[in-house]
Amino acid sequence: MNISLVQFSRCLSTSKICCKKVIPTNIKNKGVSSQLWLKRQLSDPYVEKAKLMNYRCRSAFKLVEINDKYKIFCPGQTVIDVGAAPGSWSQVAIKEVENQGKVISIDKQNIYPMEGVTILSGMDFTDPASQSRLMKELNGTKAQVVMSDMAPRASGIREMDNENMMNLCYSALRFSVQVSEFGATFLVKLWQCGQSKQLELDISRFYNNVKFVKPKASRDDSAEIFILGRSFKGLKKT
């Protein structure tokens, strides 16, 4: 049976892709944190796999894993990708929703164009003007998936960073409940902290099935985790 390179490479295990440890060179003049980052990148099998499968970033595999397990995408959906740069989640989404679907991506940073995706670069999602623009792109329709991979710029002060991260999560949640179709899905990244449980409870007010998710592609030493809310209950009309 003939299969394409993409199909074949997706079947490869990460252990087979990276069979030996890569030793970085020419890093003596770099800072300690930069050296550690380079060593981690060069020995990370998901980095190599992302190159092989033409994903813009290794984070694509986090979404691939979540979708493989929970089936959050299907053809024809409208998906909003918040904090989308460099665009790897949008790559996964547009492939899954196929030509009948729509993906709208927004980020402060530049996102290079990709076929089939509506890109809003250089726009702060938390700015009401940016959310109004997203509403305009929806053109009166509802979203079936809202996903957020946003994270604040780290200050090094844990309490402040956690608070900033939570603010982004709640901003995404508030927007999601406004634009989502009944039965829709919400996926948001956060950092494990004391406020995580409260966020889970707040999401459960609007979504019937809520759970924490830690895909294998998320590094073991990373504090990141995801909350997946499925089956949006809808908003009660007053």
CATH code for the domain of 226: 3.40.50.150
- Note the pLDDT of residue 214: 96
Q: Look at the chain and report how many structural domains it folds into.
A: 2
Q: Which of 33, 52, 71 is the last residue of a domain?
A: 52
So which residues are the catalytic ones? 189
- 154-196 tens-digit pLDDT: 888 999 999 999 999 999 999 999 999 999 999 999 998 999 9
- Note the pLDDT of residue 34: 45
Same domain, 90 and 205: yes
Same domain, 141 and 164: yes
pTM for this model (two decimals): 0.81
- 41-53 tens-digit pLDDT: 445 677 888 788 8
Same domain, 37 and 64: no
**144 domain residue, yes or no:** yes
Strand ranges, E, within the chain: 78-82, 102-107, 117-121, 143-148, 180-191, 207-213, 224-232
Paired with 80 in beta bridges are 104, 146
Give the C-alpha separation, 180 to 137, whole Å. Answer: 14
Domain that holds residue 64: 60-232
Same domain, 16 and 110: no
**238 domain residue, yes or no:** no
Same domain, 178 and 81: yes
